[in-house]
Amino acid sequence: MSPVSDRPVTVVGATGYLGRYLVAELDARGHRVRAVVRDPGRARQPGPYGAPPLIGAHTELVRADVTEPGRITGLLAGSGRVFSALGVTRQKASPWDVDFLANLAVLREAERTGVESMLYVGAIGMEHGTSLVARSKTAFAAALESSPVPGWIVNPSAYFSDMSSTVDLARRGVFLLPPDPGIRLNPIHGADLAAFCVDLSEGPAGPGTGRVEVGGPDVLTAREVVRIAADAAGTDPCTLRIPRRLLDGMVWTAGRVSDRHGNLARFFAESMTRDAVSRCTGTRHLADWFADLT
Ligand SMILES: NC(=O)c1ccc[n+]([C@@H]2O[C@H](COP(=O)([O-])OP(=O)(O)OC[C@H]3O[C@@H](n4cnc5c(N)ncnc54)[C@H](OP(=O)(O)O)[C@@H]3O)[C@@H](O)[C@H]2O)c1
């Protein structure tokens, strides 16, 4: 029997790729879910890359922008668990404002309200990164670890949604490989990650905060990702390896354009130059997902 109460579960970042799967998984297990969204109309539509609409029988949409001061007060009233998949990916906002400050505001409200636990989804390897995204996620993880609210920090490898551009590039016939094409990752489908997170949160919480790194069932090199994308696209792309010095030059140039461009370039460059392999979970395979995209 699950040790968690039947109080509603609040999900912030609910309209994102992962957030939608978290809400769907909780709803399917019969939990009452409060999905915090900026735009209820958009929330009821399917998300990108097949992510589900937020229309479950047990799901209530709560309209709020958690980055706005004062919008968080009362948001967690009566909540048991809190999940956060809140973070900047394609949005233009500062990662510090969203990944750190907005998540921190949710955490402070969780402390004030006395929720049972908080599960935060960050990203693998951020503690070694120097980009603003990495520093913002690391700063929030540290705040959660020192909070009296027990919980989990789940740091996943890349999401399938993030890999879709590989198929686009394979279709165009040219592919850029990282300086070391042998770097490894185990990308994960949003549904598999959501199931993992909900399982985790249904176990005993605390004391303190647990930290888990997780990825999908297949450990692949960058070169293998390109090969399965090419197989799915039915092409034989020309692959070019980006020399390390060129990558450093691109980061430097992007930094001259703006801080935002520089930080994004740094984030991608750092992601392209280290392994992102973690505990394997899930049943969905990248090759099948790529095939469905084509
Ligand atoms: N994508 C990957 O490969 C990957 C891999 C590992 C870890 N992660 C991390 O996992 C988390 C979820 O990723 P995802 O791919 O699901 O991201 P996503 O689809 O971009 O969703 C991010 C969520 O945060 C919200 N958000 C972003 N900027 C906001 C702002 N300025 N104000 C209010 N809300 C804002 C979005 O709201 P709206 O829908 O209203 O924009 C959305 O609900 C992120 O922290 C990401 O860094 C991602």
Is the CB of residue 223 less than 8 Å from the CB of residue 182?
yes
Tell me the CA–centroid distance for residue 132 and ligand 1, in Å. Answer: 15
Which residues, in sequence order, are bridge partners of residue 210?
Answer: 152
Rg of the chain taking only CA atoms, in angstroms: 19
Q: Answer whether 98 contacts ligand 1 (Cβ < 6 A).
A: yes
How much is the mean pLDDT over the chain? 94
Which residues, in sequence order, are bridge partners of residue 111?
Answer: none
pLDDT of residue 207 exceeding 90, the answer is: no
Beta-strand (E) ranges in the chain? 9-12, 33-37, 59-63, 81-84, 117-121, 151-156, 174-177, 184-185, 209-215, 220-221, 238-241, 279-280
Ligand 1 atom showing the smallest separation from residue 66 Cα: 33
Return the top range by mean pLDDT from 166-175, 183-192, 262-271: 183-192
Could you tell me what percent of the chain has a pLDDT over 70? Answer: 99
> Which of the four pLDDT bands, split at 50, 70 and 90, describes residue 205?
confident
The whole-angstrom separation of Cα 213 and Cα 23 is 21
Which residues, in sequence order, are bridge partners of residue 81?
Answer: 117
Model confidence pLDDT, tens digit, residues 19-72:
999 999 999 999 999 999 999 999 999 999 999 999 999 999 999 999 997 889
The whole-angstrom separation of Cα 77 and Cα 153 is 22
Q: Per-residue pLDDT averaged across 108-129, rounded?
A: 96
pLDDT of residue 14 exceeding 60, the answer is: yes
**Which residue minimizes the CA distance to atom 39 of ligand 1?**
15
> Which of the four pLDDT bands, split at 50, 70 and 90, describes residue 3?
low
Contacts of 257 (CB under 8 A, 6+ apart): none
Model confidence pLDDT, tens digit, residues 97-106:
999 999 999 9
The whole-angstrom separation of Cα 175 and Cα 98 is 32
Query: In 3D, which of 216, 38, 268, 19 has the Cα closest to residue 120?
Result: 19
pLDDT of residue 116 exceeding 60, the answer is: yes
175, two tokens: 């592919």
Domain 9-158+187-214, classified CATH 3.40.50.300, yes or no: no
The whole-angstrom separation of Cα 213 and Cα 279 is 6
94 alpha-carbon distance from chain centroid: 16
pLDDT of residue 131 exceeding 90, the answer is: yes
Type of residue at 227: R
> CA angle at residue 12 from 269 to 95, to 5 degrees?
30
Q: Answer whether 16 contacts ligand 1 (Cβ < 6 A).
A: yes
Model confidence pLDDT, tens digit, residues 283-293:
999 999 999 98
Tell me the CA–centroid distance for residue 11 and ligand 1, in Å. Answer: 12
The three-class DSSP label of residue 215 is: strand
Domain boundaries, the chain: 9-158+187-214
Residue 65's pLDDT is what? Answer: 95
Residue 1's pLDDT is what? Answer: 38
Torsion angle of C-alpha atoms 66, 196, 281, 164, degrees rounded to 10: -30
Q: Per-residue pLDDT averaged across 135-159, rounded?
A: 97
Q: Answer whether 85 contacts ligand 1 (Cβ < 6 A).
A: yes
